[in-house]
Amino acid sequence: MKKNEKKFNNNSGLSSRKIAVEILLEIIESLVPLDDVFNKFIKQGSSLSKMQPEDRSFCRLLVSSTLRNLTEIDYILNKFLKKSLDKSPPKVQMILRIGIVQIVYLQTPDHAATNTSVELGGSKWKSLINAIMRNVLRGRDKINAYQIESPKTPSWLSKRWKRDWGDSFIEIENAHRVLSPPIDLCVKKEAKIWADKLNGICLSDKTIRLNNTSLISELEGFNSGDWWVQDYSSQIPVTLLNIEKGEEVLDLCAAPGGKTAQLISMGANVTSVDGNKRRIARLEENLSRLKFNSKIFHSDVRSYKPKETWSKIILDAPCSSTGTLRRHPDIMHIKNEGDVQSLVKLQSELLLSTWKFLANGGSLIYCTCSLEKEEGENQIFKFINENKDAKIDKIKPEEVIELKELITKEGLLRIFPNHLKEIGGMDGFFIARLKKVS
C-alpha cells in the first residue's frame, strides 16, 4: 500500500485523476465510447500521451472502475448528500465519483483520495468537495450496507434482464463487476506453448487467457503476428461453420478482423466486407501484422452486390454490445432503449440482405455480442417465420462441449457473461446457425 500511496500522491497521480475526470465527462455528457475518448486524448498530445505507463494505466483504471460501478457509486453518494447528486455541476459529480471509487473499490489511502479530489475542485468547489468527502469517510461503516441495497445496473438494462432472464439477471450483473477482466488471445498454433510463454491458461486448442493486463503490443508474439486479441465467446461462431481448407467464406461486418483471421488460420479463402472505413483500416492493419490476406470490400452489406454466392457466411451484426460490459462498462451509460430498437431494425435488414448471398444448401452464422433477446432469439424466430427457405440448423452438444448446457431447446447458443465466472467470465453472446433449403 505504501508503494501505491507514493505513486498516488505525486504530481503525475494528480494529473491522472484530472484527465480521468475529463474523459468521464466526455463519455457521459457526449455519449462517446471510452476507447474512442481515450485514444483521442492520446492523439491530441494531452498530458495523457506524456504520462508514464503506470500513470496512464491508473487513469484508465479510474475511468473504467467508475463506469463499472457508477449506479452504485451514485447511490452511495446520494446517501451522504442533502440534495441529489444530479443537482451538482457535472465536473463536481465526476470528482466525487472518482473519489468514492478510490476509497471503496480501489483501496486508495483515504487522504490521497480526499486531498486530490479537493485539489481537483479548485477554489470554486474546494470547500464543497472537502465537506462531502469528509462526510463519506465519517460514515464509511454504512457504505457496505449501501452497496448491498444499491442498484448495480442502469434501470433501462436491469428491467430488460429481469424480464428476459428472471433471477439469472443478478449473476449477469455480478459478472460485469470484475475489476480487471482477463484478456483472451486466439493463437495460430501451439496454444499450450504460448500459454506458458505469456503466463496464461488454455481455454481451448486455439485460445489462451491472460490475467496480465499490461500493454498488449509489448507482449511476446505481438509483433511477430503469432496471435490476436479475441474474447473466447467471439471465437465460437467461426468454429460452427465446419471450415475445410480452401473453402470460400464470406465474412460480413468483418472489422476489426478477429473472425476473418480465424477463418484464414483454418485455411479458408475469405472475402471480408465492412461498411466503416475507419474499421476497415484497422482490419487491414491487423491482418498485415498477422501476415494474413483476404479480399476486403468497403461496403454496407445492404448495398453490397457480389456476382457470386457463398455456401458459408458469417454475419457478426452490429448490436448494443450489452454482453461485453465486463470489458466495456461505458456501454450501459451511453446506450439506451432507443438504440436497441434501431439496431434491431438494422439487424433485420442485414439478415435479409445476407440471405441473398447464400447458396442453396448453404450455412449462415448469425451472431451478436448482445444479451437482448430482440437482437438474438427473437430476431431469428422472426426471420425464419418470414423466410420459408430458412431453417435453424441446430448446434449440437459435441460441437461446443464446454458450452453444451448453454444450447437452447431450439438449437441456438446463448452465452452469458457469468459462464466461466471462476476464471473471469466471458462475453455474453448469441449464435444461430441457419440453413438455406430449397
Report the C-alpha gap between 277 and 296 in whole angstroms: 11
- CATH fold for domain 2-149: N-utilizing Substance Protein B Homolog; Chain A (1.10.940)
Report the C-alpha gap between 386 and 434 in whole angstroms: 14
H helices present in 184-270, as ranges: 191-197, 232-239, 258-265
Report the C-alpha gap between 384 and 253 in whole angstroms: 21
Give CA separation, 387 vs 294, 382, 391, in Å: 31, 9, 9
327 grid coordinates: 470489458
Report the C-alpha gap between 209 and 356 in whole angstroms: 38
Q: What is the DSSP letter of 407?
A: B
What does the buried/exposed string (b/e) look like for 43-53 if buried means 16 or more CB atoms within 10 Å of the residue's CB? eeeebbeebee
CATH class entry, domain 183-436 = alpha beta
Give me the residue spans of the domains in the chain: 2-149, 183-436
Question: Cα–Cα–Cα angle for 56, 198, 417, nearest 5°?
Answer: 70
pLDDT tens for the chain, 438 residues long, are 333 333 333 445 899 999 999 999 999 999 999 999 998 998 877 788 888 888 888 999 999 999 999 999 999 999 999 889 989 999 999 999 999 999 999 999 999 999 999 999 999 999 999 999 999 999 999 999 999 999 999 999 999 999 999 999 999 999 998 888 999 999 999 999 999 999 999 999 999 999 876 678 889 999 999 999 999 999 999 999 999 999 999 999 999 999 999 999 999 999 999 999 999 999 999 999 999 999 999 999 999 999 999 999 999 999 999 999 999 999 999 999 999 999 999 999 999 999 999 999 999 999 999 999 999 999 999 999 999 999 999 999 999 998 999 999 999 999 999 999 999 999 999 999 999 998
Reading across the β-sheet that carries 207-210, which strands appear in turn? 201-202, 207-210, 183-187, 227-229
Q: What is the pLDDT of residue 2?
A: 34
Q: What is the pLDDT of residue 51?
A: 87
Count CB atoms within 10 A of the CB of residue 124.
11
The residue among 36, 46, 37 whose CA lies nearest residue 15 is 46
Predicted model pTM: 0.93
Q: What is the pLDDT of residue 52?
A: 86
Is the distance from CB of 353 to CB of 317 less than 8 angstroms? Answer: no
Q: What is the pLDDT of residue 4?
A: 36
User: Which residues have C-beta within 8 Å of that of residue 412, sequence separation ≥ 6?
Assistant: 376, 377, 380, 392, 395, 430, 431, 432
